[in-house]
Amino acid sequence: MDLQLKDKSVIVTGGAKGIGLAITKAFLEEGARVCMVGTDEKTLQEVRAQVGQPDRCIGIRCDVTKAAQIRDCIRTVEQTFGGVDILVNNAGVLKPARIEDLTEEQWDHDMAVNLKSTFLCTKGVIEPMKRRGGGVIINASSFAAQIPSVGQSVYAAAKSGVKSFTRVSAAELAPYNIRTFAYIPGVIKTQLVAPLIEDPQNAERMKNDIAAHRFGEPSEVASVVVFLASERAGYVSGTSIEVAGGKFCVQNPGKIYE
């Protein structure tokens, strides 16, 4: 299926690692041009070399919690690729801490990375997308917004905020032909999840919450994101899509494997 994404200009925050990297690669495979945004210049350039498409892939060091840096980043993308068609707000951070141990500084930092950055980047691409006649904005929410976990109060609050922000932005930006939706990954095999599934007993316990009884691959999230970013999904907006293998589709999905 031709998704008609050839030469579309895409920005992926956190685009050089984990799910973000898989999304970067998936868009490149469809012929799009991608700007990976991150804070580690070395990683950005190493990944750019690895994907082997320097004419279609650039890396820009940018703190997505800073409006001025975001504006500079978007300006560079416009100058390099001629505009902005798709934004993937994928950047995020998870540092578990119980409320009584959580500092005000950590709360502010994690909220800024996980939620404020989504607002700032969205705001930054509105005018460029209007000039292109429309666009797509895709936000990373989390299963923590569905069912929070102990030690993830700030993360769950931020990702719940992303879900609500997605719905409001979908309505406000619809007159400009800008679609907005969010994706909710389940347990995906990334560096973030690796420490949780290294212990076989813990891994089995986590699988018991998933109907598919396995963990997901970053590519499985990326393929959904890329399809929904295309005009093949032109009537999808204002919603959050789970890519979670049926995680908690019932209270006891693991029962079927006993």
Active-site positions?
Answer: 155
* CA within 13 Å, CB half, 63: 7
d(CA 61, CA 40): 7
- Residue 242 DSSP class: E
d(CA 239, CA 180): 8
CA 191 to chain centre: 15
Count of beta carbons in the 10 Å neighbourhood of residue 74: 23
- State which amino acid sits at residue 193: V
Classify residue 133 as exposed, middle or buried by CB count within 10 Å of its CB (0-12, 13-18, 19+): exposed
Assigned token pair, 204: 């089995």
